[in-house]
Amino acid sequence: MSRLIAAMSGGVDSAVAAARAVDAGHEVTGVHLALSRNPRSYRSGARGCCSIEDSMDARRAADAIGIPFYVWDMSEEFADEVVEDFIAEYEAGRTPNPCLRCNEKIKFAAVLDRALALGFDGVVTGHYAQVREGGGGLVEMHRAVDMAKDQSYVLGVLTQDQLRRSYFPLGGSTKPDVRLEAEARGIQVASKPDSHDICFVADGDNAGWLTEKLGPKPGVIVDESGQVLREHDGAYAFTIGQRRGLRLGVPADDGKPRFVLDIEPVSGTVTVGPRERLLVDALDGIKPLWCTDVPTGELDCTVQLRAHGKEHRARVRVEADGVRVELLDPAEGIAPGQACVIYEGTRVVGSATIARTHAAAADSHLPV
């Protein structure tokens, strides 16, 4: 039997994960993470994961399961490690994934560290992923059975030490089954909708939120020839691959839609062009984190480049300053700042932050 902290967001997944940990014979204590000292400043209602309503839902779920429950103030760590990082990355012209950063810095670093300091053995969460015993005394993280809910991408930042103390009871289940189980257990959040969008952007308007934080920083949108199409109030309102909301007014010569191809944060220049110019067939990753042993030589594998993106066949080579990824299946609209998560079959090898991409040859085909 282990003493576990159950990170309870107020949703159905974390509640059922905590209940299953109890059923497995563990001594479980529920903890809700207060990520803002003014929760109303973050997203409210069922669309978020850090509202006042979520805290109350988590407490009711803990009562139904019959476990102790506490609220841990993680607002300072969250602001420093997630919110400020999000702002800095957009200001630098990159596109971060705050959920991945929250898992790395908060849920499986700050929370786990505090749990261990208090005498607990590990953390149980409602993430859809699987941890298995591997060879050579290692543990492995694999994709969830329910691929539609698989969250191994945002967990690709976990180290071997963290994986040894992480419990994911939902990895072998489907979401409909989890909801039915919650209802059978009398957990009131059984039908609560999943959270969406970024929890600390209260109204879902990322561009407006960034403008409020960073202030207007005028620049221009240009085509590939350098012709100015219009002015804008901040390059951080755009991301690579964006099509909607460009408001260019002047159509392209061929009449086809245009997409954001490049963002230059110093001058504030946003370059747009045709969709086929979004294709990349290689990328360089920095700050690699390995879930298992560091690969040697060239690794034939697959990579996932977005939280809900498809896998791409790839060859990965570990270098002194990061990783080099050659994409056998070219990818579209990949932005610096996003994560590249590396897989061998269903096993997560590790991840890296995309530093730069390399355009595919002109005769490459767009992904279907």
Identify the structural domains of the chain with CATH numbers, from first to last: 3-191 (3.40.50.620), 216-273 (2.30.30.280), 277-359 (2.40.30.10)
> Secondary structure of 268-299 in the HEC alphabet?
CEEEEECHHHHEEEEEEEEEEEECCCCCCCEE
C-alpha dihedral sign at 345, 282, 237, 41: positive
Which run of H or of E encompasses 312? strand 311-319
User: Is 160 in contact with 140 (CB distance < 8 Å)?
Assistant: no
> What's the confidence (pLDDT) of residue 40?
52
Handedness of CA 213, 219, 220, 225 (dihedral sign): negative
What is the DSSP code (8-state) at residue 320? T
List pLDDT tens digits, range 16-42. 999 999 999 999 999 999 887 655 544
Cβ partners under 8 Å of residue 309, min gap 6: 331
Residue 46 is predicted with a pLDDT of 40
pLDDT at 365: 63
Per DSSP, the three-state class of 131 is: strand
pLDDT at residue 226, rounded to an integer:
94
Point out the catalytic residue in the list 49, 50, 99, 102: 102
Q: Which residues of the chain have pLDDT under 70?
A: 37-51, 196-197, 362-368
- Could you confirm whether 102 is annotated as catalytic? yes
- pLDDT of 87 reads 92
pLDDT of residue 47: 43
Is the pTM for the entire model greater than 0.95?
Answer: no
CA atoms lying within 13 Å on the CB side of residue 329: 13
How confident is the model at residue 99, as a pLDDT?
87
Q: How does pLDDT run across 39-61, given as a tens digit for each residue?
A: 554 444 444 455 678 889 999 99
CA nearest to 325, candidates 280, 284, 292, 278 = 284
CA distances from 241 to 249, 258, 262 (A): 18, 9, 9
> What is the DSSP code string of 150-191?
--TGGGTT--HHHHHTEE-TTTTS-HHHHHHHHHHTT-GGGG
CA nearest neighbour of 124 among 22, 10, 55, 35: 22
Supply the pLDDT for residue 362: 64
Active-site hit among 49, 50, 99, 199: 199
In which residue are the tokens 């208090």 written? 118
3-class SS at 100? helix
- Buried b or exposed e, range 221-260, using 16+ CB within 10 angstroms: bbbeeeeebeebebbbbbbbbbeeebeeeeeeeeeeebbb
Number of H helices, E strands in the chain: 9, 17
pLDDT tens-digit profile of 307-330?
Answer: 888 999 999 999 988 999 999 999
Q: Which residues contact 344 (CB under 8 A, 6 or more apart)?
A: 299, 301, 302
